[in-house]
Chain A
Amino acid sequence: MAQPALKDTRVEEFEKKQEWWWAAEKRRSGRLDYLRKAIWKKGAIGGLYAPGVKTDLEQAVLTTNMAKALEGSPDPYVVKSAKLFAHILDNKTIFITDHAQLVGYTGSLPNTMNWNPSIASILNSEVFNDPISIPEPVDKNQAVIQEIVDYWAGKTDLDKMMPVFDMDDLMKMLSGSIGWGVPLARGGYSNKDYEYIMTGKRGFQDIIDELDKKMDEIDDAVHEPTANKEIAMMYDRLNNWEAMRIALEAGIRIAKRYARLARIMAENFEEDPKRKEELLKIAAACEQVPAHPPRNLQESFQYDIFIQMMSRTEAIEGAWPCRPDYYHGPYYDKDVHIDKTLTKEEALDLVGEFLIRAAEVCQFKPKWAREGLQGIDGTWVWTMGGVDEKGKDACNDLTIAFMQAARLVRVANPTFAFRWHPQVKDEVMREVFECIRHGLGYPSIRNDPILVSNAMHWHGHPIEEARLWVHQACMSPNPTTKHGYQPMRMANATANCAKIIEYVFTSGFDPVVNMQVGAETPDVSTFKNFEAFFDAWVLQMRTIFSILVRSVNRARLLAPTMTPRPFLSGLSERCIESGQDTCDPSIARGNAWITAFTWVENADSLAAVKKLVFDEGKYSLAELKDALAKNWNGYEDMRLDFVKNAPKWGNDDDDVDRIMLRCLDACAKFSKELKCPCGNNWPILPENVSGNIHYANIVGALPNGRRLGDALYDGGISPGPGLDKKGPTAVLKSCGKIDHVTQGRAFLLNQRLSPTQLAGEKGFQLWKAYMRTWADLGLDHVQFNMVDDATLRSAQKDPEKYQEVIVRVAGYSAHFVDISRKTQDNIIQRTVQGLG
């Protein structure tokens, strides 16, 4: 039976003062308290990793040694890739933490960050040059790193891909001015075919048996007395299947290594009979999964952790698409309600530990990624709630348990996104609300009926599949089905959209990177009317989006042969069936999207130009061009005019809202012209993570009054901080003018609410009324910060005392003390909306 960490009468006092983090510490079990405090915080602070967190050289050395050993091997590349993967799993150091019931980690030790040197030399160079994370002794290990970096130069995925990209596009993309990320199949956000592997029907051994059968059949077929193109192609299928089998077998073996360690601990070291029993249970779980389907909740969680750990051995994963209440819920029900083998408290311990296991995951990331995702390693946005394939409410007792566990362990990553629909029970909504009220910043709320329709509209997913969607990264829905799941969302189709309006004034020349990036539109001062100005905006938008999308399309086409993923393929029904790699576009429906960072600046800037230049004629375009080129220096009165007297998005003001809709219409039209290699569309998805801070020094002065260096808006369709002056309903009304099905893939909305106003039952009712308006207006997303200014300012002054305060940054949450001062200020500047 789980025991609270400490009986403490001060719990209520902490709750009254809304010091939820102290209350949680007192309320959680001793086990959860130990494991929560055992986490090495891996999210970067100010772009740098925390002291004590070290790059894991073990995997890098294992990978490099095996790659050298395979150099003379006649194996096809995909088989070599699988053997590399297997070699790591067979030889890495593993560990089991005291009190843990779940095992498995990406690195070799708890304080390490996994480093895969086979993916990108630009990443390897950053490992070498990192001032903090090289393990002791630094000199010796720097020499080891140097050797690894030298070996992989010219051999990594990105090194091999670069010569086959359009070099012009590549230079523009890698300049860092318009895009974010690189087009790689082993670096981005992998969704998975959870309907195939996570529904209790099969484990890895069952898939291996299926593969053996397939290979036997093909082996017979290729030796029939005939010859044709189909037979010639079958050899590639055999190679892929063989690689999948190697990867899955390695997955079973490493689980058995954990089982063995648990048994060794139980039989040789552990004296506490209760812990001994737990260790033997861990051993039994790791002997069962992933080889065979799980039998209970612990094994179901363990199965999931193994899959995630292995996927992160094969690739750098920036996200964690999943739906844990849906896929693990039946095991919770069986253990807690039917078999009664777990009490609710014991189950809560397992759920809390499952969150902790995810919170500690880390892979070494380049600095631009760390700056864009301040305080976290990646956007682990876990999907909760929603409906089943028939459209019935899928919320269950595990949904509630996840909400309760989140309030106990208070990790900033993973976070939850809750699929709201009209059938959701009040009891579940209350649990969701309590998480928000406790200042976690999550769950974000997603409008399920809207997003199911959206998935059908943009990507043609059939309704039964569309209903099974998860967040592929922060925001974008993607079904977990055979043809619907997208194996890799390559992050570089992430547009720094403020450049669209900036380039209208520079004719596409980027003064920051000193190169022609955008379209060479005519000198802005020659435009005689707003229509000509807007046409230039559209051309810049089309140019930027095309550069980014072309690179992804090219990478996706080349991925099956140049950067195969045998492990991920081995979890996919379509790959097992066809013998093709998971990224092969011919067997996928497609679910691409363009993330639109720094989006709203366009609407506010266009509205300002329309009003002050064309409608009122107060300024000429030549004058504005000069002011922007000079970063408004010498034009302060004019700048203030553009800030104060131009309409701003988020105030239910049709003058600017119409422009927003016009921009979105232009994008939506172009989204259907852009096609991915699966033949599907490229809708846009406005959101920001912390790109608004990352791009502050990259985006020049803008007509909304912003200066170079100022933080950009916090993103999606959120109004500029402090610029939404007409209350929460006006914000919702502006956002509700957008068609959230047909004008884009999803739209992020940040809102700040007052924790004092929303206290207690009255607060819940107020919030529910707000959410009803949100749903009625057809918005697809909203997320809340509910920490007051006083607490945040105190945390700035005395960060040591406020280590556990969590805030919603953008599509993710982070500990307030782990984000930059500029981001902190940006969050404080957001308007606190009074409801009612």
Chain B
Amino acid sequence: MTTCQECKNFFPLEEDPNRGDCVQRVKDPRQAYYQAKPVNAEDDASACASFQKKQQ
């Protein structure tokens, strides 16, 4: 199973690497921004349209 921690959008918390933020760049019709959503490192990312494999 592909997990969030394998994605380059995943930024683990220093104090707890099992948790982190999915940080993404978004452009909507009026503005551009970065968004952060809390996720777990082991969350299933296999159906995630934003998944981008982290470079080793």
User: Chain A interface (Cβ within 8 Å of chain B)?
Assistant: 34, 37-40, 52, 90-91, 93-98, 109-111, 257, 260-261, 264-265, 268-269
Instruction: Indicate if the CB atoms of A109 and B35 lie closer than 8 Å.
Output: yes
Let me know if A90 and B38 touch, CB within 8 A.
yes
The reply to whether A264 and B30 form a contact with Cβ atoms under 8 Å apart is no
Instruction: State whether B35 touches A95 (Cβ < 8 A).
Output: yes
List the B side residues contacting A96 at CB < 8 Å: 33-34
A79 to B32, CA, bound (A): 38
Residues of B at the A interface (CB closer than 8 Å) are 11, 21, 23, 25-26, 28-38
> Would B31 and A264 count as touching, CB distance under 8 A?
no
Q: How far is the CB of A8 from chain B (nearest CB, A)?
A: 23
Let me know if A110 and B28 touch, CB within 8 A.
yes
Q: Cα distance A265–B33 when bound, in Å?
A: 10
19 further A-B contacts with Cβ under 8 Å, apart from A93-B35, A265-B34, are A34-B31, A38-B31, A40-B30, A52-B29, A90-B38, A91-B38, A94-B35, A95-B33, A97-B31, A97-B32, A97-B33, A109-B28, A110-B28, A110-B30, A111-B30, A260-B11, A264-B11, A269-B25, A269-B34
B8 to A: closest C-beta gap in Å: 9
* B30 and A38 form a contact (CB under 8 A): yes
Write out the residue numbers on chain A whose beta carbons fall within 8 Å of the beta carbon of B25.
269
Q: Which 3 A-B pairs have the closest CB atoms?
A: A38-B31, A95-B35, A261-B36
State the CA gap A257–B31 with chains docked (Å).
21
Q: A110-B33, A257-B36 are in contact. Are A95 and B21 (CB under 8 A)?
A: no
A261 with B34: CB separation less than 8 A: yes
A751 to chain B, nearest CB (A): 35
B-side contacts of A39, CB under 8 Å: 30
CB distance from A83 to the nearest CB of B (A): 16
A52: nearest chain-B partner, CB-CB: B29
Chain A hits for B37, CB < 8 A: 93
B31 touching A98 by the CB < 8 A rule? yes
Q: Which residues of A contact B38 (CB under 8 A)?
A: 90-91, 257
Q: B32: which A residues are within 8 A, CB to CB?
A: 97-98
A37 pairs with B30, CB closer than 8 A: yes
| A257 to chain B: closest residue by CB | B36
Sample 30 A-B pairs with CB under 8 A, ordered by A number: A38-B30, A38-B31, A39-B30, A40-B30, A90-B38, A93-B35, A93-B36, A94-B35, A94-B36, A95-B26, A95-B34, A96-B33, A97-B31, A97-B32, A97-B33, A98-B32, A109-B26, A110-B28, A110-B33, A111-B28, A111-B30, A260-B36, A261-B21, A261-B36, A264-B34, A265-B23, A265-B34, A268-B11, A268-B23, A269-B34
Known: A90-B38, A91-B38, A111-B28. A261 touches B33 (CB 8 A): no
Interface SS majority for chain B: strand
Chain A contacts for B21, CB-based, 8 A: 257, 260-261, 264
Q: Is the interface of A mostly helix, strand, loop or mixed?
A: mixed
What residue of chain A has the Cβ atom nearest to residue B39's Cβ?
Answer: A91
Closest to B35 in A: A95
Chain A residues with Cβ below 8 Å from B31 are: 34, 38, 97-98, 110
Please, which residues of chain B bring their CB within 8 A of the CB of A265?
Answer: 23, 34
- Chain B residues lying within 8 Å of A257, measured Cβ to Cβ, are 21, 36, 38
Collect the chain A residues with CB atoms within 8 Å of residue B33's CB: 95-98, 110
Q: Report B-chain residues with C-beta under 8 Å of the C-beta of A95.
A: 26, 33-36
A39 to chain B, nearest CB (A): 7
Q: How far is the CB of B18 from chain A (nearest CB, A)?
A: 15
Q: Which residue of A lies closest to B30 (CB)?
A: A38
Q: Which residues of B contact A269 (CB under 8 A)?
A: 25, 34
Closest chain-B Cβ to A286's Cβ sits at a distance in Å of 12
Tell me whether A261 and B23 are in contact in the complex, defined as CB-CB below 8 angstroms, given that A93-B35, A98-B33 are known contacts.
Answer: yes
CB distance from B38 to the nearest CB of A (A): 5
Shortest B5–chain A CB gap in Å is 15
B23 proximity list for chain A (CB < 8 A): 261, 264-265, 268
Alpha-carbon gap, A303 to B8, bound state (A): 32
Residue of B nearest to A38 (CB): B31
- CA of A832 to CA of B37, assembled, Å: 53
Q: Which residues of A contact B26 (CB under 8 A)?
A: 95, 109
How far in angstroms is the closest Cβ of chain A from B7? 13
B37 and chain A: residue at smallest CB distance: A93
* Chain B contacts for A40, CB-based, 8 A: 30
> Measured between alpha carbons, how far is A309 from B31 in the docked complex, in Å?
20
Closest B residue by C-beta to A41: B30
B45 to chain A, nearest CB (A): 16
Nearest opposing residue in chain A for B8, CB measure: A268
- When chains A and B are docked, how far (Å) is the Cα of A513 from the Cα of B26? 49
- Determine which residue in B29, B30, B32 has the highest number of CB atoms from chain A within 10 A of its CB, and name it: B30
Closest Cβ of chain B to A58, distance in Å, is 9
Q: Which residue of A lies closest to B32 (CB)?
A: A98
How far is A38 from B30 in the complex, measured between Cα atoms in Å?
A: 5
A38: B residues at CB distance < 8 A: 30-31
Give Cα distance in the complex from A602 to B11, angstroms: 64
A265–B35 Cα distance when bound, in Å, is: 10
Assembled-state Cα–Cα distance A442/B56 (Å):
58
Complex alpha-carbon distance, A39 and B31, angstroms:
8
| Contact residues in B for A37 (Cβ distance below 8 Å) | 30
CB distance from B32 to the nearest CB of A (A): 5
Smallest Cβ-Cβ distance to A267: which chain B residue: B11
Q: For the complex formed, measure the closest distance between the CB of A250 and the CB atoms of chain B, giving whole angstroms.
A: 13
Q: For the complex, give the distance between the alpha carbons of A94 and B34 in Å.
A: 8
- In the complex, what residues of B have CB within 8 A of residue A52's CB? 29
Q: What's the least CB distance linking A275 to chain B, in Å? A: 12
Closest to B31 in A: A38
**CA gap between A111 and B26 in the complex, in Å:** 12
Please give me the residue from chain B that is nearest to A40 by CB atom: B30
The docked-state distance in angstroms from the alpha carbon of A260 to that of B26 is 18
B21 CB, min distance to chain A CBs, angstroms = 7
Kindly state the separation between the CA atoms of A98 and B33 in the bound complex, as whole angstroms: 5
> Which residues from chain A contact B36 at a C-beta distance below 8 Å?
93-95, 257, 260-261, 264
Taking CB atoms, residues of chain A closer than 8 Å to B28 are: 109-111
